[in-house]
Amino acid sequence: MLLIDCPYCGPRNGSEFAWQGVPSPRPDPASTTPLEWRRYLYEEDNLAGWVEERWKHRSGCRAYLIIERHTATNEIRAVRLLGGTPL
Amino acid sequence: MTARLPERPGEVIDRSSSLPFRWNGGDYTGMAGDTIVSALAASGVRVLSRSFKYRRPRGVMTADFNDPNCLFQVGDEPNVRAAHRLLEPGMDTSSQTSWPSLRFDAKAATQALSPFLGPGFYYKTFMRPRFLWPVYQRVLRTFAAGGKPSPQPGHSSPDKRYAHPDVLVAGGGPAGMMAAISAAERGARVMLVDEQHETGGYLRWSDSDGRLALADLRTRLAAADVEVLTDSVVFGRYDHNWVGVMQRSHPQGERLIKARAGVLVVAPGLIERPLAFEGNDLPGVVLSGAARRLLNLYAVRPGTRAVVLSANAEGAAAAADLADAGVEIAAFVDARAGETVVRAKGRTGVRSVELTGGKTVEADLLVTATGWTAPTALLNMAGVVPTFDPESSRFVPGEMPDDVMATGGIVGDGSVADLLSHAAAVGQEAARRSGHKAVHKAAAIPAAAALAPPSKEPVELPTLEPEPHPPLFIGSTSGFIDFSEDVTTKDITAAADEGYRSLELAKRYTTATMGPTQGKLEVINAGVAHAIATGRAIAGMGTTTWRPPYAPVSLGALAGRMLEPVRHSPLQPYHERVGAQPIVAGQWIRPNHYGDPAAEVTAVRSSVGVIDVSPLGKIELRGRDVPKLLELVYTNKWSKLAVGSVRYGIMCAEDGVVMDDGVTARFAEDRYMMTTTSSGAAGVYDWLEEWLATAHPDWDVRLTAMTDAYASMNVAGPESRALLERLVEGIELDAESFPHMHVRTGTVAGVADCFLWRLGFTGELSFEVHVPAGYGLHVWEALLEQGADLGAVPFGLEAQRIMRLEKGHFIVGQDTDGLTRAHSTGLSTLINSDKPDFSGKQELEWSEADSGTMLVALQPEDPAVVPPEASQVLSGNTLVGRITSSRMSPTLGRSICLAQLTQDHAAPGTVVTVHLPDRTRVRARVMEHHAHFDPEGSRLRG
Amino acid sequence: MSNKGARGRLPARFSAFDLMRRRRSWPQAWRERDLKSTYDVVLIGGGLHGLATAYYLATNHGITDVAVIEKSYIGGGGSGRNTAIVRSNYLTPEGVRFYDRSVKLYEELAVDLNFNVMFEQRGHMTLAHNDSSLRTMRWRAEVNKLEGVDSSVITPSEIKQLAPYIDVSDHSRYPILGALWHPPGGIIRHDAVVWGYARAADAAGAHIHQNTEVTGIDVEQEKVTGVTTSRGKISAPIVVNCTAGWSSLVAALAGVKLPIVTRPLQAAVTEPVQSFLDPVIVSGSLHVYVSQTARGELVFGASVDPFGSYSTRGSLDFIEGLAGHVLELMPSLGRMRVLRQWAGLCDMTPDYAPIIGPTHVGGFYVDVGWGTYGFKAGPAAGESLAQMIATNSIPELIAPFGVERFAAGTLMGEKGAASVGH
């Protein structure tokens, strides 16, 4: 069970959070091509190591968070609000 | 013949008690404090079980939880660790692996076949003739080890517990006790967990100095603020120091404790390792620790004439204890002087022991003290990689993460004083490290600030190193390495010779370490035997990946109470009172019908009915930018929705696949109410939040989940307006004032702040009434009461499903699937490609010409045949689709369907073949409209 | 059954008579070889898929200059961590055909490989707890029947007869309304399958290199030229990524990006008890599957973990949820004990179907994205892959599973079942 230090709620069990993976930027809908769009929909780097992922404190404050997590050890070294600075 | 000795100074039995119990059908007695096995041993029983493969007789070997020969059936509980489980009066116990009886096991004949039963023998045979394989399977399965699971339902376990100790100490021997005391004395909240029934570890069965030291430790522990759990085990260390503790001693049964530990201190001590030699599994061959436990805790004499093989101080101590108890020491074999045991001989127990040089000594007991295995499981689970230390012939911990520490025998050897001083320092340091966490937490939880860190600087740990120990693993003769699995030295060698040159492969091939002890007794010997067989250095032997749980834990305790929520509407008391037939729909339990769904349909079509639609997802949206959000998530146009109006829309994911559908109403300039499908409510709420958080944080939109805030009921049928007119205040209900697809707020049956909209799934004139949840039941009952003379009836989900199918409305997830794009619903008019962007737009544009399948209405040519849902549709022999919904229509008196068909078979008038599950076929025609009934919708708009 | 073309040398034949007679050790099941500097085909990953491919390349097509490169020991990844269930009752006709071929190969495998893989066809039962999952079961049954696969929907009383420990009463939290019953499904000794293929592939001439890690894939002008390993370079015109768990990382070595997220799948095993459960029991709604091995242990698995990870350490929440759901199905097992838990790595694709075939790098093939179904697929995947390599054309059986479907936006329909299933 991960322990995630939510900037609003403090340390909470990982089961309160929903994982959303490493976000990829949404192509410009006006000019996108099928190939570019489907890369956006489906392709993944799927790295083994430190990644910046998006999580949601779904069973808590429902904030969207960016979490730096090591995908091989599940170690977490930083949690911050999406689009915001650390509180 | 009793083997019970006169009173021993450290004994744990109550000599004033007499506990009768049964074993293999016979009557026995023991004393309070006895384990099942110590009571049997005291009664002179030597053979306790038969081995798994060769059915060899087995007796006590380790006399503790790990004893591979002492797994009993106790009542309806299989695989009880009988050398650990305390005796209770009236217990009905039996050995597990023997047929027809323990004395004579018919399968012992397999011993004669042992050359045939080498490692992996089953992979090499039973293949031909093939038709006999099912018979072989049955025979092999009768060899399954273990007891019988109870067929009777019912397990009870106390509720689970959460704990947040600063320091959690795994192991209640002297080092663990001292670490706990020292951490607690520095202000840490400490939990101490030990597998034994009492704290003290090896001091419990040691000499008078040891007992004195233990008494002192127990006094200090009692004074310190430490929560002590005995007969409990730390079975797993998971991510971020989430620690599983199983409290076996809880009065109501096993209890699972989930602890988020600041620092985990691992102090499990050492496990004594057997030596592999011929006959090492005979009853009467025991480890030195087992001999001392039997003698000193239970006052049981394990034999009368003993050979002691000793490579360490424990062996000498065991010999002294035996002599003290009147056991004759026939030979003391000093391994450190190069002497050893060649083989033990006997049939159902040791009769004699052959020593190096060929000398044979008559004895009924062979005690071995040949070294230790470090149980590094919890360290492994924390990512620590222990290394093999050839000097001490055991694994030692490697580099540790900050939140895990180790002390005691797992770290090194020394006098009790040496161990205690190391443990005291570890306890202090653990308190210090967890204190830092407490300070960190203080920012969030002010109360935690009271826990001041005890020391700012890291505490220096005194040196504790393992003592040298002779490398005694494998004797000169082949013996058992894995007692639970009947794997011998020879088997490991054979596996290596056959090419299984990785230890992991050899373990899997021979099944060594796969049994109930999971390697605790056998892993080192297996590794050494394999290293020798493959010509590798023992020191290079890789560490084993110990996996959780460290000790087996029951399903009942892990499961605890089923806490998965069930959701009921506020109208549930009514449904229960009238005995509605329930149906499970996701988390919701809803009324499926009230007796006769077809009659409910007829009532709605002819007069009026009321259905509880409270599970409908409801989300309130407020703010200036709500229209922008609606434009983004729905496929159709929303910006011009007038106040007081309601619109239907489809939502797609970004791949164009239909995700949900529903209506949204505009109450005011900046206030909307969205509905979703019952099962989609949570997902849509997430989806809206996600768009706002990730793409448009600047938009002024606030969302509130309202599903539970309202009781919702749809009043449907030609008399629905007449009924509501009797109850509604403040709203004109006539068609002109309140047209179809509009919303009004007002008072219903005296309840203010209700909102109503004119729409429905049934195709009839209908009003959906949303009432503040607390008043829902009142309004529902008022509707039925006031409508009695109009013929008002409650109707359930089934009637609604029939009526919506008559109207050709699709259900997301039933008539669509995970690949159905919006065009395939046949509602292309709801896809507005003029909008600059909406979720799914791109894929819908690219796939418009060919969106795969199409949803169509279908009517079987034989009106009496209702093809079951999921029946496949064929054209010739080609699969062209499937029936997604089907019912007998009470209104039309014929079968009706919705189906997903490939585009080339979706044209109205096309005749296709439906393949029914019973392999008969029926022809069916594609209809012009989705609606089988009232395609113009005149009833709805009336 | 299997189309045996030019066969390589057969391994030593096993028989009961041989077992009795033999007093000295058996010949090595496979040999340790020197790493050659060149091979016709390099298969990355010494699990079931790589070894089966090597075997079929040799026996069906006479291609024996093949290296199987394994970074650890053979079968140490997904092949040794799965729950060893074999079945073919999938949802899409393409899926059913493919897995049915695998079941057919499994049925003959012990005799083909002369190694008893202990395939026990005790039946496979998927429980339905609500009308929507019952509808999906019927959908699967109907597609299965049309493809000639034995599969049908059965009632609670039939369930009770086949598995008496199951609670089919209607007062449980998740009442059982019916089940999809698939008699040819069952369990197998997964290690034995790996060893049997390895032994036969080795005898036929393929080289199995354990403890050898591929650290680079050499590509020149969009064509693969070989691999770099921890033991040296190999040049080869054909390189196949047969890995699981690390398939994204291996593909990245060749500059190929995949639509895959790696997620752990956890499993657990109990202490053995006397045999009491014949069929494999699956509940999609409860995210659990259970079978009893010949040794008497119950083997459990769940759905993949809620977040992507390369960690193979088990979690406590997993065994808690699992235990709750197993007891929901079989309430009398509360006193059985979990002996060991572990995790394997599953490469999940967006449509719950694998990716097999060529990539934009010439000569570099993938056989990846096997999610939670790679083990059942092994024989058919190996056979098809061997055929593809030997004939340089894509066999019909695997044509639907090419990587190009993602760029084309035409995904497979097994996700269709998953999203409808519960």
The interface predicted TM-score of the complex, written ipTM, equals: 0.96
Q: C287 and C338 share a domain?
A: yes
Whether B446 and B479 share a structural domain: no
**Does C376 share its domain with C320?**
no
* B240 lies within 8 A of chain A by CB: yes
Residue C103 lies in a domain: no
Q: Same domain, yes or no, for B436 and B479?
A: no
The pLDDT, as a whole number, for residue B307 is 98
CB contact under 8 A, C314 and B238: yes
Residues C370 and C339 in one domain: no
Using an 8 Å CB-CB cutoff, list chain B residues near C82.
none
How many domains does chain B divide into?
A: 5
Interchain CB contact of C4 with B (< 8 Å):
no
Give the closest-approach CA distance of A78 to chain C in angstroms. 17
What pLDDT is stored for residue B43 in this prediction?
96
Q: Which of B822-836, C9-23, C180-194 has the lowest mean pLDDT?
A: C9-23
**The CA-based dihedral angle spanning residues B304, B307, B310, B313, taken in that order and rounded to the nearest 10 degrees:** 30
Cis peptide before B100 (omega within 30 of 0): yes
Residues of A in contact with B686 (CB under 8 A): 18, 56, 58
Cβ–Cβ < 8 Å for C219, C209 = no
Residue B824 pLDDT level (bands cut at 50, 70, 90): very high
Closest partner residue to A1 among B242, B693, B843, by Cβ?
B242
Burial class (CB in 10 A: 0-12, 13-18, 19+), B740: middle
Cβ proximity of B502 and C30 under 8 Å: no
**How is residue B325 written in tokens?**
């108890």
| Helix axis angle, B174-185 to B416-442, nearest 10° | 40
Q: Is residue C66 in a domain?
A: yes
Let me know whether B498 and B578 are in one domain: no
For residues C134 and C196, membership in a common domain is answered with no
pLDDT in tens, C320-350: 999 999 999 999 999 999 999 999 999 999 9
C275 & C246 share domain: no
Residues B205, B9: Cα–Cα separation, whole Å: 10
CATH number at residue C79: 3.50.50.60
Q: How far away is chain A from the Cα of B812, in angstroms, using its nearest Cα?
A: 22
User: Which chains are within 8 Å of A by 3+ CB pairs?
Assistant: B, C
Any C CB within 8 A of B842 CB: no
pLDDT at B793 over 70: yes
**In a shared domain, residues B437 and B482:** no
| Token representation of residue B40 | 């049997």
Whether A41 and B445 lie within 8 Å, measured CB to CB:
no
Q: Is the pLDDT of residue C420 over 70?
A: no
| Interface B-C: count of C-beta contacts within 8 A | 287
> What pLDDT, on a 0 to 100 scale, did the predictor assign at position C14?
67
Beta-strand pair C66-69/C41-44: parallel
Distance CA B774, CA B789 (A): 27
Residues spanned by the domain of B510: 473-560
Which are the contacts of C166, defined by CB distance < 8 A and separation ≥ 6? Answer: C127, C159, C160, C176, C281, C329, C330
**Which residues does chain C have within 8 Å of residue A24's beta carbon, measured at their own beta carbons?**
none
Cβ-based neighbour number of residue B576 at 10 Å? 12
Neighbours of B393 (CB within 10 A): 23
CB pairs under 8 A between A and C: 58
Number of domains in chain C: 2
Same domain, C267 and C344: yes
Closest CA to C63 of C208, C226, C205, C197: C205
Query: Which one of A64, A66, A67, A80 would you mutate to disrupt binding with B, by most B Cβ within 10 Å of its Cβ?
Result: A64
In a domain, C20, yes or no: no
Residue C16 domain-assigned (yes or no): no
pLDDT digits (tens, 9 = 90+) for B359-402: 999 999 999 999 999 999 999 999 999 999 999 999 999 999 99
Q: Which residues 197-256 of C have a C-beta within 8 angstroms of A?
A: 246, 248-249
Local structure of B524: helix, strand or coil: helix
Same-domain check for residues C285 and C170? yes
Domain boundaries, chain A: 3-22+35-81
Chosen domain end from B110, B127, B153: B110
For residue B850, name the pLDDT band (cuts at 50, 70, 90): confident
Residue B45 forms part of a structural domain: yes
Please report, for residues B25, B151, B907, C121, C279, the alpha-carbon distance to residue C166 in angstroms, rounded to integers and kept in the order given: 30, 10, 47, 20, 11
Is residue B154 pLDDT above 80, yes or no? no
Cross-chain CB nearest to C249 (options A18, A19, A48): A48
Q: Are B817 and C419 in contact (CB under 8 A)?
A: yes
Residue B5, helix vs strand vs coil? coil
Architecture per CATH, domain A3-22+35-81, reads as 2-Layer Sandwich (3.30)
Task: Clarify whether residues B256 and B184 are in a common domain.
Answer: yes
CA distance A4 to chain C (A): 14
pLDDT tens per residue across span C220-235: 999 999 999 999 999 9
Residues C40 and C179 in one domain: no
Q: Using a CB-CB distance cutoff of 8 angstroms, which residues of chain C are in contact with residue B137?
A: 118, 120, 294
Which residues in chain C have Cβ-Cβ distances shorter than 8 Å to B559?
320, 323-324, 326-327, 334
pLDDT of residue B155: 64
The proportion of chain C whose per-residue pLDDT surpasses 70, expressed as a percent, equals 92
- Closest by CA to B234, choosing from B243, B223, B224, B222, is B243
Residues B511 and B577 in one domain: no
Q: What pLDDT is stored for residue B848 in this prediction?
A: 78
Which residue reads 């489980």 in tokens? Answer: B85
Q: Inter-chain contact B686–A10, Cβ cutoff 8 Å?
A: no
Q: How far is B837 from chain A (nearest CA, A)?
A: 6
Distance CA C56, CA C48 (A): 12
Query: Are the beta carbons of A74 and B239 separated by less than 8 Å?
Result: yes
| Whether B782 and B735 share a structural domain | yes
- If asked whether residues B672 and B715 sit together in one domain, one would say yes
B686 and chain A in contact, CB less than 8 A: yes
Contact flag A46-C407 (C-beta cutoff 8 Å): no
Nearest Cβ partner for B847 among C199, C341, C409: C409
pLDDT tens digits along B69-126: 999 999 989 999 999 999 999 999 999 876 667 777 767 777 766 766 778 888 888 8
Which pLDDT value is given to residue B249?
83
Residues of chain C in contact with residue B547, where contact means CB-CB under 8 angstroms, are 313-314, 340-342
Contact map slice: A 40-59 vs B, CB within 8 A: 41, 54, 56, 58
* Same domain membership, residue C175 and residue C47: no
Domain end marker among C313, C348, C383: C348
Identify which of A1, A38, A44 has the shortest CB distance to residue C260: A44
More confident residue, C28 or B778: B778
Please list every residue in chain C whose beta carbon sits closer than 8 Å to the beta carbon of residue A15. Answer: 317
- Nearest-Cα distance to chain B for C142, in Å, is 6
Determine the residue type at B126: F
**C:337-356 residues touching chain B, CB 8 A cutoff:** 337-342
Nearest to B354 by CA among B521, B212, B476: B476
Cα–Cα distances in angstroms (integers) from residue B329 to residues B63, B306, B321, B350, B366, in the given order: 21, 5, 11, 15, 10
Q: Do B694 and A34 touch (CB under 8 A)?
A: no
CATH (domain of B888): 2.40.30.110
C-beta atoms of C335 and B505 within 8 A: no
**Same domain (yes/no): C393, C360:** yes
Contacts of B242 in chain A (CB under 8 A): 1, 3
Torsion of CA B908, B659, C368, C125, to 10 degrees: -80
Residue C158 lies inside a defined structural domain of this protein: yes
Q: What is the C-alpha to C-alpha distance for residues C204 and C197, in angstroms, rounded to an integer?
A: 10
Question: CA separation (Å) from C71 to B597, C68, C211, C363, C366?
Answer: 63, 10, 5, 22, 17
In the block, tokens 């004109």 appear at B732
Task: Give the one of B115, B147, B258 whose C-beta lies nearest to C316's C-beta.
Answer: B258
**Which residue would you say has higher pLDDT here, A76 or C17?**
A76
pLDDT at B191 over 50: yes
Q: Could you say which of C261, C306, C316 has the minimum Cβ distance to residue A44? A: C261
For C237-269, the pLDDT digits (tens) are 999 999 999 999 999 999 999 999 999 999 999
Determine the Cα–Cα distance for residues B663 and B710; give it in Å rounded to an integer: 16
A30 in contact with B, Cβ within 8 Å: yes
Per-residue pLDDT band at B450 (split at 50, 70, 90): very low
- On whether both B553 and B576 belong to a single domain, the answer is no
CB of C223 less than 8 A from some CB of B: no
Of C310, C325, C348, which residue constitutes the final position of a domain? C348
Asked whether residue C66 carries a pLDDT value surpassing 90, the answer given is yes
Closest CB to B693 among A64, A74, A76: A64
Q: Are residues C132 and C73 in the same domain?
A: no
Which one-letter DSSP state was computed for residue B231? S
In this structure, the answer to whether residues B752 and B871 fall within a common structural domain is no
Q: What's the full length of chain C, in residues?
A: 422
d(CA B656, nearest CA chain A) in Å: 11
Residues C369 and C409 in one domain: yes
Residues of C in contact with B915 (CB under 8 A): 142, 146
Q: Is the pLDDT of residue C416 over 70?
A: no
**Residue span of the structural domain in which C164 resides:** 120-184+261-348
H-helix or E-strand containing B649? strand B646-652
Answer whether B365's CB lies under 8 Å from B341's CB.
no
Structure tokens that stand for C33 in this block? 């070889």
Mean pLDDT of B408-424: 96
pLDDT tens-digit readout, B615-625:
999 999 999 99
Answer yes or no: is C93 within a domain: no
pLDDT single digits (tens) C19-48: 555 555 678 899 999 999 999 999 999 999
Helix (H, G, I), strand (E, B) or coil at C78: helix
What is the pLDDT of chain B when averaged over all its residues? 93
Q: Is residue C106 part of a domain?
A: no
Tell me if chain C has a CB within 8 Å of the CB of B151: yes
Handedness of CA B160, B166, B168, B173 (dihedral sign): negative
Question: Which residues, in sequence order, are CB contacts of C36 under 8 Å at separation 6+?
Answer: C67, C207, C234
Smallest Cα distance from C225 to chain B, Å: 31
- For chain C, give the percent of residues with pLDDT over 90: 85
Residue C6 has pLDDT above 80, yes or no: no
Q: CB count, 10 Å around CB of C20?
A: 12
Tell whether C105 is covered by a domain: no
Which of C348, C374, C405 represents a domain boundary (last residue)?
Answer: C348
On whether residue B554 sits in a domain, the answer given is yes
CA distance B384 to chain A (A): 12
Q: Flag if C335 and B126 touch (Cβ within 8 Å).
A: no
Contacts of B441 in chain A (CB under 8 A): 10-11
* Calpha distance B167→B384 (Å, rounded): 19
- Chain C residues touching residue A43 (CB < 8 angstroms): 257-259, 406
Domain CATH number, residue C136: 3.30.9.10
